[in-house]
Structure 1
Amino acid sequence: MKRIFISFAKEDSNLRDLLVGQARNNNSPFEFVDMSVKQAWDSAWKTNCRRKIKGCDGVIALITKNTKNADGELWEIKCAKEEGIPCLGIWGNDNHYGVSIPNELSSSQMRDWTWSNISSWLNRI
């Protein structure tokens, strides 16, 4: 089973919950261990977060209109890139018109949120 860090804006925590729930669904074609940060850490959160990301097989970044102002999420994506951890950007909703891809994900895949997109990415890492 793959260890996956889910990066998301705190305003989008419900989307993280949905993604984790999908992976637990009996007929889901994918599964993973959620390693995301679920609560704010103290001033050493970047050190703790980097350690957690380094222990993962990949990072799924949930991208919405909130991402551009989500300093923590943007840092997590950048950290994954620095550590050589594969990243997949998933659009957090169907209507992503006007939502820009963060610079931190410029060299990563961006995909719609579908079971086949997620499972094919997980199978490649």
Structure 2
Amino acid sequence: MMARHHRIFIAFAIEDKWARDRLVGQANNARTPFEWIDMSVKQPWETDWRNRCRTRIRGCDGMIAFVTRNTARASGQLFEIATARAERIPLIGMYATQDQRPYLLPPELAGISVLDWTWDNISRFLARL
């Protein structure tokens, strides 16, 4: 177990909510070698969502961005990724599925490591925060 609970924002396309839910479930499993506080947006905000989202991201130690075939056209997720980069929040991409890779990566992910979704990769990212 890690001594510190990092505040992590999980960026995902709405079609990939299942991946966020599964990752949060993994973090709550006693056998998982990592833990954190999930700061992702659980329900869409009706008003002023960009400013509210930016404020939440600023308060995080890092961001995990799920990458799937939906990412390149997920405007909300792309805004979240761009915001993390602008705010200098450490960011890692995780492939949520094994199909049709590599995906077309949008410019927001240029230069960002995109790795397979494994406990080791997540643990190494959290250890660097």
TM-score (norm 1): 0.96
Residues 14 and 26 from structure 1, CA distance in 2 versus in 1: closer, same or farther, beyond 3 angstroms? same
Runs of 4+ residues over 3 Å off in structure 1:
none
1:107 matched to 2:111? yes
Aligned ranges 1:22-37 → 2 under 5 Å: 22-37=26-41
Amino acid at match of 1:41: W
Amino acid at match of 1:49: C
Q: What is the match of residue 86 of structure 2? A: 82
1:66 matched to 2:70? yes
1:13 matched to 2:13? no
* More displaced 10-residue stretch of structure 1: 40-49 or 50-59: 40-49
Per-residue CA deviation, residues 40-69 of structure 1 (Å, 9 max, x unaligned), is 112300000000000000000000011111
Per-residue CA deviation, residues 74-109 of structure 1 (Å, 9 max, x unaligned), is 000000000000110000112242511221111211
Between the two proteins, the alignment pairs up a number of residues equal to 125
Q: What is the match of residue 51 of structure 1? A: 55
Unaligned runs of 5+ in 2: none
TM-score (norm 2): 0.93
Kept after mapping to 2: 8 A contact 1:64/1:96:
no
Unaligned runs of 5+ in 1: none
